[in-house]
Amino acid sequence: MSSAIVNFVGIGGQKCASTWLYDILEDHPQACLSSEKELDFFSNYWDRGYEWYESKFHCKSSDRKVVGEVSPSYLCTKEAPVRLKKYNANTKIIVILRNPVERAYSNHKHNVRQGFVLSDNLTFEAAIKNNSTYVEHGFYGENLSCWLTAFPRDQILVLLFDDILNNAQAVAQNVYQFLDISTDHVSSSLYKKSNESVAVSNVPLALFVDKLRQFSRKNGLIGGWDFLRRIGIRYVYRLFNQQNVDVAIPKMRSETRQELFEIFRKDIESLESLLNINLDSWKTNKGATR
């Protein structure tokens, strides 16, 4: 069996600042991150084996105390905690949770931005009927219980999305302390935001580009894709295939927000008990659809 080099994993959730987590660790001098975000090994590519997985990490310095990756798909994959424990039972796990109603709406905005919503009806209400994962991925209590069964509580760090918005530096230091690396590091990505304001204009073109990217990734050609990004091709593509997402997507209806809260209510209460935390801020029909 290959040596277990990976000793921490970010498991999600989806649209819960996983890119932020990757970025604030990627530039830490004592951390080695996978060459690409979202390896999805313990969810989608388990059959490729440990050697394939470990080939995605290129640690050049002996100063790197921790090695890890961030794949949001892990939180909702029931087999993932068992597989990770088999690989390295001492792995530290980081999970970021977000108001599940806000997470679902953000998921929809992401899918519209990427061109995955083919209907002319871009309302959130229509999307929920079409894509059940918007709701399924918000049952954190149900999904996290599998991880707490496989790993001891002190190996799992639970963070809240709103805390990152309110004090990103304090949350980053909490992450560094959990991983036992220097808390003095100040990441250049602390307040970096992904481009949430734009959506694709030409859906067929966006789908073609995404298939090309996935093909490059699966066949070891991601270097060529990165080269196109570096010479500005991606910038040109995005410049001519974007529209304002806030204009394209109608706001979530207040009755929809309340209906979703009722769906998530029991799971939120279960999560509070499971983690011994207060989530009163999620129990409101207000909130901003960021």
Q: Residue 207: inside a domain, yes or no?
A: no
Using CA atoms, how far apart are residues 275 and 158, in angstroms rounded to an integer?
8
Q: Taking a C-beta distance cutoff of 8 angstroms, is the pair 40, 92 a contact?
A: no
Q: From the DSSP assignment, how many helices (H) and strands (E) are in the chain? A: 14, 7
pLDDT in tens, 32-54: 999 889 999 999 999 999 999 99
Q: Residue 208: inside a domain, yes or no?
A: no
**Which tokens go with 215?**
């093909």
Instruction: For residue 263, give the 3-state DSSP assignment.
Output: helix
Q: Residue 187: inside a domain, yes or no?
A: yes
Q: Residue 156: inside a domain, yes or no?
A: yes
Q: Residue 287: inside a domain, yes or no?
A: no
Residues 6+ apart with CB under 8 A from 281: 99, 162
Q: Residue 180: inside a domain, yes or no?
A: yes
pLDDT in tens, 218-243: 666 666 656 656 655 655 555 555 65
Q: Residue 234: inside a domain, yes or no?
A: no
pLDDT in tens, 232-278: 565 555 555 565 666 678 899 999 999 999 999 999 999 999 999 99
Alpha helices in 33-156 (DSSP H): 49-54, 80-87, 100-114, 124-130, 133-136, 140-150
Question: 115: pLDDT confidence band, cut at 50, 70 and 90?
Answer: confident
Q: Which domain holds residue 106?
A: 8-201+242-281
Q: Please give the share of the chain, as a percent, with pLDDT higher than 90.
A: 67
Identify the pLDDT of residue 289: 43
Q: What's at 60, amino acid-wise? A: K
Q: How many domains does the chain have?
A: 1
Residue for token digits 């995005």? 238
Identify the pLDDT of residue 119: 82
Identify the pLDDT of residue 203: 57
Res 2 pLDDT > 70: no
Domain of 93: which CATH number? Answer: 3.40.50.300
- DSSP tag of 251: P
pLDDT in tens, 170-223: 999 999 999 999 999 999 999 887 655 555 555 566 666 667 766 766 666 666
Q: What integer is the mean pLDDT of 120-140? A: 94
pLDDT in tens, 84-108: 999 999 999 999 999 999 999 999 9
Res 287 pLDDT > 50: no
Q: Please give the share of the chain, as a percent, with pLDDT higher than 70.
A: 79
Q: What's at 48, amino acid-wise? A: R
Q: Residue 31: inside a domain, yes or no?
A: yes
Q: What's at 21, amino acid-wise? A: L
Q: Taking a C-beta distance cutoff of 8 angstroms, is the pair 243, 195 a contact?
A: no
Q: Taking a C-beta distance cutoff of 8 angstroms, is the pair 28, 59 a contact?
A: no
Long-range contact pairs involving 231-237 (C-beta distance under 8 Å, separation at least 24): 237/209
